[in-house]
């Protein structure tokens, strides 16, 4: 009886040891097969713009071909800019040429007007005899008066340059006061160095105006 109990106890202990050993071995095998999970690379990548992507692809495609077929994309931009500047320069050059032509035409017109004034002055001097008394007759004064109705003060002054201050004052006295005022302003502005001549002209003008 005692031997059976001892045998049963020994068998129970052996079974327990076997069970724990098998369990421990199984657990160790499971643990040894586990590997630490490596972190997955992030799938979020910075997205380049479609324009930059296309440009990069074009550059790469050009670089893969022969060297003589390579085309720098910036060359096109530089060419466009140069063409634009050339057009602007051409437009400015045309504008300068037009201005130069206009200036030449104006100079020719002024020269022609100067010649006409000189000829008119000569014609007047030929038609009106010089008076030694520094006085003009009524017919001569009327001739000047009629001619000066449509002329500018500068032209009138140039025509009368050959006359004495007394003669000029007599002719001014036959003109309208508004015209005389314009002549005085012209002398003051354009001939400030001939103030004495203007004073003599005004004295003769006032003397003629008050003469009955």
Please give the biggest Cα pair distance in the chain. 189
**pLDDT tens figures, 142-188:** 888 888 888 898 888 888 888 888 888 888 988 888 999 999 999 99
**pLDDT tens figures, 71-123:** 666 777 788 888 888 889 988 888 888 888 888 888 888 888 888 877 777 77
Count the Cβ atoms, other than its own, within 10 Å of residue 112. Answer: 10
Structure tokens at 156: 């009138």
* pLDDT value at residue 132: 44
> Residue 80: in which H helix or E strand, if any?
helix 73-127
- Which are the contacts of 162, defined by CB distance < 8 A and separation ≥ 6? 121, 125
pLDDT at 202 over 80: yes
pLDDT at 134 over 70: no
Structure tokens at 130: 């010089």
- Which are the contacts of 69, defined by CB distance < 8 A and separation ≥ 6? 62
- Which are the contacts of 42, defined by CB distance < 8 A and separation ≥ 6? none
Domain ranges across the chain: 56-127, 132-210
């Amino acid at each position: 009886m005692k031997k059976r109990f001892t045998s049963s106890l020994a068998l129970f202990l052996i079974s327990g040891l076997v069970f724990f050993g098998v369990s421990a071995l199984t657990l160790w095998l499971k643990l040894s097969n586990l590997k630490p999970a490596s972190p997955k690379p992030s799938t979020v990548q910075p997205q380049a713009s479609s324009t930059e992507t296309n440009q990069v692809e074009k550059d790469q495609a050009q670089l893969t071909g022969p060297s003589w077929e390579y085309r720098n994309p910036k060359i096109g931009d530089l060419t466009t800019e140069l063409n634009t500047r050339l057009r602007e320069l051409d437009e400015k050059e045309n504008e300068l040429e037009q201005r130069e032509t206009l200036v030449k035409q104006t100079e020719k017109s002024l020269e022609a007007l100067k010649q006409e004034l000189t000829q008119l002055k000569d014609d007047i001097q030929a038609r009106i005899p010089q008076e030694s008394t520094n006085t003009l007759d009524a017919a001569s004064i009327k001739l000047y008066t009629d001619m000066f109705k449509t002329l500018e003060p500068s032209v009138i002054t140039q025509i009368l340059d050959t006359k004495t201050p007394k003669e000029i004052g007599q002719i001014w006295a036959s003109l309208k006061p508004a015209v005389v005022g314009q002549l005085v302003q012209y002398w003051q502005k354009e001939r400030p160095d001939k103030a004495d001549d203007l004073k003599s002209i005004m004295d003769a003008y006032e003397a003629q105006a008050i003469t009955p």
